[in-house]
C-alpha cells in the first residue's frame, strides 16, 4: 500500500448534515457512505453496532473519541438528547400548566407520558423531573451522560 504524505494530518471524510443541526463525520468506502462514529466504535470495541445506535455521550456528534461512544437502543439514545428549541423552562418535561397556574413535571416512558407532579416553583419541578429521570433512565439520563462525559475528558 502506498501512503501519500499529501493527506497526512487531514481529517478523513466530510461533515454531513442528518437533520437540523445534526452533523456527523461520514466516509465513503467502496461507494457506500458510513457514519464515522459507527466505524470508530467497531474498531475500538470490536463490536458491530448492527441495528443499535452509537450514542455520543456528550451530545457532540463531532466528538468521535471511543470513550465518548456507547451502544444504545433508539429509546436510550433519545433520552440523552438536548432540550427542544421550543422548551421555555430549560428542562425537558417541565412546563407551565395554565389551568392550575403551576409548574408541571412529566416524563415520557415507552411512548407514554407519566405525570410526576404540579409544583409552585420551577426549581422543585426540575428537581422532581431530574430525580425521576435518573431512576428511570439511569446512565442514559441527560445529567448522568453529561457527568460521564466530563469524567472521560
Q: Indicate whether 34 pLDDT > 80.
A: yes
Which has the closest alpha carbon to 89: 37, 40, 137, 128? 128
The per-residue pLDDT for 80 is 73
Domain co-membership, 30 together with 64:
yes
Of 72, 104, 127, the one marking the end of a domain is 72
The rounded distance, in Å, linking the Cα atoms of 28 and 73 is 25
Of 50, 72, 94, the one marking the end of a domain is 72
The answer to whether the pTM exceeds 0.85 is no
Domain co-membership, 59 together with 88:
no
Three-class SS state of 72: strand
101-119 mean pLDDT: 92
Domain co-membership, 67 together with 89:
no
Range of the domain at 48: 1-72
Phi and psi at residue 43, in whole multiples of 5°? -65, -35
Cell 487531514 belongs to residue: 10
Domain co-membership, 63 together with 118:
no
Which has the closest alpha carbon to 41: 26, 28, 31, 56? 56
Total of domains in the chain: 2
What average pLDDT is seen over the chain?
Answer: 87
Higher pLDDT, 92 or 50: 50
Of 72, 97, 113, the one marking the end of a domain is 72
Which has the closest alpha carbon to 61: 88, 46, 80? 80
Domain co-membership, 105 together with 62:
no
The three cell numbers of residue 16 are 454531513
Amino acid at each position: 500500500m502506498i501512503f501519500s504524505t499529501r493527506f497526512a494530518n487531514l481529517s478523513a471524510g466530510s461533515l454531513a448534515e442528518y437533520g437540523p443541526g445534526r452533523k456527523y463525520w461520514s466516509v465513503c468506502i467502496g461507494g457506500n457512505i458510513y457514519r464515522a462514529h459507527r466505524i470508530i466504535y467497531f474498531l475500538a470495541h470490536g463490536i458491530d453496532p448492527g441495528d443499535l445506535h452509537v450514542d455520543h455521550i456528550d451530545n457532540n456528534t463531532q466528538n468521535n473519541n471511543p470513550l465518548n461512544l456507547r451502544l444504545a437502543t433508539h429509546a436510550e439514545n433519545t433520552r440523552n438528547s438536548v432540550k427542544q428549541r421550543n422548551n421555555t423552562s430549560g428542562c425537558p418535561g417541565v412546563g407551565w400548566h395554565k389551568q392550575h397556574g403551576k409548574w408541571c413535571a412529566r416524563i415520557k416512558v415507552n411512548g407514554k407520558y407519566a405525570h410526576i407532579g404540579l409544583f409552585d416553583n420551577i426549581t422543585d419541578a426540575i428537581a422532581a423531573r431530574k430525580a425521576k429521570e435518573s431512576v428511570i433512565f439511569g446512565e442514559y439520563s441527560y445529567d448522568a451522560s453529561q457527568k460521564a462525559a466530563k469524567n472521560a475528558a
